[in-house]
Amino acid sequence: MSQRIDTILISHAHKDETYVHELVNLIKVTGVERAGVKIVCSSYPGFSIPPDVNIYDYLKGELNGNVWVIYVLSHNYYKSAACLNEMGATWVQNKKYSTFITPNFSFHEIKGAVDPSRNSYRLDDKSKLNDFKRSILQEFNLDLNDNIWESVRDSSLEEISGYAKIEREADRSVRINFESVKNMGSGKIKVALRAINETTAQIEFTYIEIQLNDVDGNELVLKDEPSNLWVFHEENKLIFIEFQCGGSEYSAARHDKANVTFRSQKALPW
């Protein structure tokens, strides 16, 4: 007969603490603490790692018990060496685990030690949260009033949705990518650029600089201060600019690589 779970450890990136706070609230409302289960979550006040202790020694001690590890996976998680080390340490010890993904992350992006098909949930999916609740209640033989659960769940979903929107907006970008270059004759070349505006504002490009290199190592630097070059909100469009090559030995027919820099300014959102 297996030992009873005595600790729930939430493995997450600190940049995802807003999401994780809501997950802890959902776990708390099930009543696991009354059943003697300890919640460990480094970013939640009252459940964090005690001050003046070595974080890795503390986690090592916790993992010696019968732990249920909950991974909150995101782009932030996979960028964190500490998180990946934690994932490896818990997986090697063959601990019971479940996986949550944040709203702007997808199951096909899961990699590493965890199995994406095993006990996986979405933080912004009501039915998946209900499945998780049933799993906790069954694990610890608990009862929970449906009205209480639904109130906390819906409040958490609203917070999660709001933060996910903020996160998506912060990740949106404005960029210009090099597409191609063509020799137009008479010492002229035409450069095709792709301007991408993922924000909700209009963007005016005020300066563009393009560094072109051919396979022989010849370089050509082109600069332009376009007039009235706008890219509207969430627009993706091609821009064509003609330049005089000057005295450069650069060959468009033997083009190798390009680098584009620019300056831009925002207008009011539409």
Residues 56 and 162 in one domain: yes
Q: Of 226, 217, 224, which is closest to residue 248 (Cα–Cα)?
A: 217
Beta strands in 18-61 (DSSP E): 38-40
The answer as to whether 49 is a domain residue is yes
The model carries a pTM of: 0.66
Residues 166 and 183 in one domain: no
**Cα pseudo-dihedral 77, 82, 85, 91, rounded to 10:** -50
Q: Is 33 one of the catalytic residues?
A: no
Classify residue 118 as exposed, middle or buried by CB count within 10 Å of its CB (0-12, 13-18, 19+).
exposed
The answer as to whether 1 is a domain residue is no
Say which CATH number the domain at 154 has.
3.40.50.10140
CB neighbour list of residue 191: distance below 8 Å, 6 or more residues apart = 178, 180, 181, 210, 212, 222, 240, 241, 242, 243
* pLDDT at residue 60, as a whole number: 61
Active-site residue (options: 17, 22, 33, 86) = 86
Q: Of 1, 57, 7, 61, which is closest to residue 32 (Cα–Cα)?
A: 7
Residues 112 and 212 in one domain: no
* pLDDT at residue 55, as a whole number: 57
Q: Tell me: the pLDDT tens digits for 126-167? A: 999 999 999 999 999 999 999 999 999 999 999 999 999 888
Residues 192 and 166 in one domain: no
End residue of a domain, out of 113, 136, 171: 171
Give the up-direction half-sphere exposure of residue 214: CA atoms within 13 A in the CB hemisphere: 15
Q: What is the mean pLDDT of the chain?
A: 88
For 149, the domain range is: 7-171
* pLDDT at residue 63, as a whole number: 63
Rg of the chain (C-alpha set): 26
The answer to whether 195 and 205 have CB atoms below 8 angstroms apart is yes
Residues 109 and 190 in one domain: no
Residues 222 and 151 in one domain: no
Tokens coding 17: 């603490």
The answer to whether 32 and 39 have CB atoms below 8 angstroms apart is yes
Q: Tell me: the pLDDT tens digits for 76-102? A: 999 988 888 878 877 777 778 899 999
Give the pLDDT of the chain (270 residues) as one tens digit per residue. 357 898 999 999 999 999 999 999 999 999 999 999 999 888 876 655 555 555 556 666 666 678 899 999 999 999 988 888 878 877 777 778 899 999 999 888 888 888 777 778 999 999 999 999 999 999 999 999 999 999 999 999 999 999 998 888 777 788 999 999 999 998 899 999 999 998 888 899 999 999 999 999 999 999 999 988 999 988 999 999 999 887 789 999 999 999 999 998 876 444
* pLDDT at residue 85, as a whole number: 81
Classify residue 268 as exposed, middle or buried by CB count within 10 Å of its CB (0-12, 13-18, 19+).
exposed
**Helix/strand/coil percentages in the chain, nearest 5:** 35, 35, 35
Residues 78 and 183 in one domain: no
